[in-house]
Amino acid sequence: MIDVEDLIALVRTYNPGTDAALIRRAYVYGRDMHEGQFRYSGDAYFTHPVAVAAILTEQRLDDATIVTALLHDTIEDTKSTFAEVERQFGTEIAELVDGVTKLTNLQLSSTESKQAENFRKLLMAMSRDLRVILVKLADRLHNMRTIKAMRADKQVQKARETMDIYAPLAGRMGMQWMREELEDLAFRVINPEGRSSIIRRFITLQRETGDVIHKITADIRTELAKAGIEAEVHGRAKKPYSIWRKMQEKQLAFSRLSDIYGFRVITTNEPDCYRVLGVIHRRWRAVPGRFKDYISQPKNNGYRSIHTTVSGRDGKRVEVQIRSRQMHEVAESGVAAHWAYRDGTRAENPFAVDPAKWITTLTERFDEGGDNDEFLEHVKLEMYSDQVFCFTPKGDVIQLPRGATPLDFAYAIHTRIGNSCVSARIDGLRVPLWTRVKNGQSVEIITAEGQSPQATWIDIVVTGRAKAAIRRSLREEDRGRFVRLGQELARVAFEHVGKKVSDKALRTAAKTLGLSSAEEVLARIGSADLSARSVISALYPELAAQPEYEVEADRAVAGLDPGQPCQRAPCCQPVPGERIVGITYRGKGVVVHGIDCAALQEFEEQPERWIDLTWHAGRHPPVHTVGLGVTISNAPGVLGHICTLIAEQKANISDLRFIDRKPDYYRIEIEVDLRDVEHLHAVMTALEAESDVAELARLRDPGKRP
């Protein structure tokens, strides 16, 4: 463990004016509070806060952040209190420690809805003081470095949480080095064999080609010397996880990957960056489409650099990043550069981003979604996405994530423009709305009065703002229909428990569930965002433990006229729990399709045949047949074991057909009788976990007719 004087010495290397007495007091206080506590490894617990503080000194952070690191677990894990920390160390540090404590208590790897709610809280905590998340990231980094001491299941849980949340968050904050290390440490736990295979291939490649990094670095230095440019040149192989991800995304073998080496040129000033670019492109052939100028168009987190990919020695592609020293400091520290010290004073880096402005760009539009799940979807899009820069016809720059479409562009300008968009022109040529925009393109949006968002747009757009606006418009358009449907569903559900639905009951339910009105409750029931049973449970908790209402097989669907016959569509075989719609047939009644059934396309011009339907609330009998396509190993006992797995899930096999027989595998189709979509997921999960199952898919055939 680093002793207090060594820690103070680390701080003094960048901040000679540090308050050494404050750090000593915090060190002693934290050590005393954690006395007798130990980590999984058996080390004294206080070794962890000290290690976190040391990580933060590498980012040259201020005294308050270093002290917070030393105390970050005291309020949660010791007899210390907020009031005691505030009395001894001041309000600023007490609030920082309390903020880290609250983040620690968020279980970000829990269920999706809970994760969404907690992630919103995480970003709101960040918005108050970004140093809270800097301490938390350092805390997670040290925990990942020492994760081997934990139980295997806990290691996987923490690694996935790190990969899903903390690594991309570090990257979005501009702390790329931390993102890469967190990803690599998590990759080591989640897929140790994959990581080892990448490392082995690297070793083999180096043995075959020699020290490529040293050779290319020397080549670049030689060219810069000829041009009289002073600059540092560094090269490295990309991290194992970065290579693995590229292999998966591009579906390429390691031997076919090209740019697995990266080089960085750090200049003294901005003009030299462009001079270096000229030298690189004169000496080596540039790869088309792989040039990005983040100096003229910086990222929201302050990142500035020129990226180019060239064909280097022996035709190998290499990525070169070019930036000035000040740009490099921001690239290494990201938004943390705002608090960084240099030569004893707070660094006045012109490229450092104001944390308050940065967090605003990340969260300013999320509240428009009004839904925790949408919030989680939006913020993950924001964190993971790289950016492209497009222009309006007037020359204004619009930043969009990679993969964005003209629809995203329209919504980025204004929600009204997006809602009324009918087509677009890119560089003067009319294009479909699903076209992916590219860097530097000029986009013109064509609008029309009376146009409104289509449901298919949800699958076209990629930005959180566009998705939220489209969903909101569709909700408003469908609200009346959903309210009427919700009224009927609520009436049936209340009658089943001997209660009567009333405006007062619905207003009380709205208040209990945190919704705005009774109408909102009905609208959410009608849109399947909320179950009628959940409303009953909120109003009458004593009824929640009662057996769930048993739905009769011939009354599974709600929304039909009395006596109107119906049947499930054989093409998509919808089951309770899935969104459904009805299509009327003369002489046949109503055929029930899943809302995403491809066969519905032929009825798009016949809206009079569509009927809004939903499933009755309650426990459905296992009579809803679903087809599953399964590829299994051709080995003794495998088929019997597969049938046993299905039976263990209380599902009945009503038919089984062999589609293809090979020496090493069988392809079979199994028809299973199920209760609902949860029952289907349980069966498919049990089969997917079986090592003898090579492929599994739900069978849907748009060609089957009722």
Q: In Å, what is the CA distance from 412 to each residue of 6, 84, 405, 666?
A: 50, 47, 11, 50
Which among 92, 161, 165, 164 has a CA at the least distance from the CA of 128? 92
Residue entry with tokens 């591009």: 250
Active site residue 76: yes
Contact 578, 554 (CB under 8 A): no
Query: b/e per residue, 491-509, with b = 16+ CB within 10 A?
Result: ebbbebeeeebeeebbebb
Contact 568, 581 (CB under 8 A): no
Identify residue 526 by its one-letter amino acid code. Answer: G
Report d(CA 178, CA 180) in Å as an integer. Answer: 5
Report d(CA 624, CA 561) in Å as an integer. Answer: 22
Which DSSP state fits 130?
Answer: T
Which among 343, 344, 362, 364 has a CA at the least distance from the CA of 353? 362
- Please compute, for residue 478, the number of CA atoms within 13 A of its CA located in the half-sphere on the CB side: 20
Report d(CA 365, CA 375) in Å as an integer. Answer: 9
Catalytic residue among 77, 84, 488, 671: 77
Report d(CA 140, CA 134) in Å as an integer. Answer: 10
Report d(CA 141, CA 53) in Å as an integer. Answer: 12
The tokens of 1 are what? 């463990």
Which among 440, 449, 480, 352 has a CA at the least distance from the CA of 59? 352
Residue entry with tokens 């929640």: 544
Cα 201 from chain centroid? 30
Q: What is the largest CA-CA distance in the chain?
A: 89
Q: List Cβ<8 Å contacts ≥24 apart for 92-97.
A: 92/64, 93/26, 93/64, 93/67, 93/68, 95/129, 96/64, 96/65, 96/68, 96/129, 96/131, 96/132, 96/135, 97/68, 97/71, 97/72
Q: Which residues pair with 286 in a beta bridge?
A: 310
Active site residue 367: no
Report d(CA 243, CA 224) in Å as an integer. Answer: 29
Catalytic residue among 19, 43, 58, 76: 76
Residue entry with tokens 């009918």: 422
Find the helix or strand (DSSP H, E) in which 443 lies: strand 443-447
Report d(CA 404, CA 389) in Å as an integer. Answer: 10
- List the catalytic residues: 76-77
